[in-house]
Amino acid sequence: MQPTTLLLERSSEDFLTITLNRPEARNAIDTQMGRELREIFVPLVFEAKDVRCIIITGTGDKAFCAGGDLKERNGMTDAQWRSQHAIFEEAFYAIMNCSIPVIAAVNGAAFGGGCELALACDFAYAAKSARFALPETSLGIIPGLGGTQNLPRAVGERRAKEIMLTARPFTAEQAYEWGMVNCVCESADLMPQTLDAARAICANGPVAVQQAKKAIHVGLQSDVRTGLAFEIESYNRTVVTEDRLEGVRAFAEKRKPRFTGK
């Protein structure tokens, strides 16, 4: 595909960087961007292809993503609004269910759907200048791309209610303190640190990484006994792989393993 709202960059370490590229609109998500995100992530729900990790960031240093493009939405009928939102839902749900790790590198403002996009990723790093908000209630709607579910799982119910019901913005340091982002760093260090994490993931067994992610995700939706049963099922999927043999062999030979995802 040749997207018009995203920049795609493949690395030699098998990870993909996706840059939201609508700087004139603070990287807001319009219908076309929704379609392009959907086209990338839907095929990755069940199959990793040849990608081991994905980074999502935004163009420039002002905005990660300003959320849904309200200029495009202004004047939409109810049917048009729902039709567009269905595209966004498909894209965001595919990001949440992606078989491989997805990291958000939040380089600036992440408001509304932009905040929900960061929450949809497996974890997030943020620049000190980043700001977050879920201001939907101030617009007469509510978060509808996973925000009401992902935020309380990250920061707790009471904090999530405060954030959404007041619609007040908060800083990257607060996001870190509350458990929403994993790391806060200087703007110049954001991508180097995110790339370092991506390279660490790509150096590990691809099947093991995918199964660990799946076990965590499913376990959090289940009771402990069900989660433990799913963990063993995921564990057993790694036992029969060539990568398991290679990992043990490399350890014994005191060298780095050469994982193939088989």
Is 6-202 assigned to CATH 3.30.365.10? no
Work out the pLDDT band at 6, boundaries 50, 70, 90: very high
Mean of pLDDT values over 228-253: 95
* Residues with a known catalytic role: 116, 136
**Residue 58 pLDDT > 90:** yes
- Quote the pLDDT of residue 138: 96
Size of the chain in residues = 262
Q: pLDDT at position 132, please?
A: 98
Q: Report the predicted TM-score, pTM, of the whole model to 2 decimal places.
A: 0.95
Handedness of CA 202, 208, 213, 214 (dihedral sign): positive
Cα separation, 232 vs 236, in Å, equals 6
Domain boundaries, the chain: 6-202, 206-252
Report pLDDT digits (tens) over 33-55.
999 999 999 999 988 878 999 99
pLDDT of residue 1: 66
Average pLDDT over residues 152-157: 97
Residue range 212-223, pLDDT digits in tens? 999 999 999 999
R_g over Cα of the chain: 19
Q: Average pLDDT for residues 187-210, to the nearest whole number?
A: 96
In tens, the pLDDT along 92-111 reads 999 999 999 999 999 999 99
φ/ψ region of 254 (left if φ > 0, alpha if ψ in -120 to 50, else beta) reads left
Q: Does the fold of domain 206-252 match that of domain 6-202?
A: no
**85, 107 Cβ separation under 8 angstroms:** no
What pLDDT was estimated at residue 49? Answer: 76
For residues 228 and 249, give the distance between their C-alpha atoms in angstroms, rounded to a whole number.
28
- Looking at the predicted structure, is the pLDDT value of residue 262 above 80? yes
The pLDDT score that the predictor gives to residue 47 is 84
* Domain 206-252: CATH superfamily, name plus number: Lyase 2-enoyl-coa Hydratase, Chain  A, domain 2 (1.10.12.10)
* pLDDT on residue 237: 95
Tens-place pLDDT, residues 113-153: 999 999 999 999 999 999 999 999 999 999 999 999 999 99
Confidence class for position 12, pLDDT limits 50, 70, 90: confident
AA letter at 188: A
Percent of the chain surpassing pLDDT 90: 94
User: What is the token pair recorded at 258?
Assistant: 């050469």
The average confidence (pLDDT) of the chain is 95
Q: For residue 135, what pLDDT is reported? A: 97
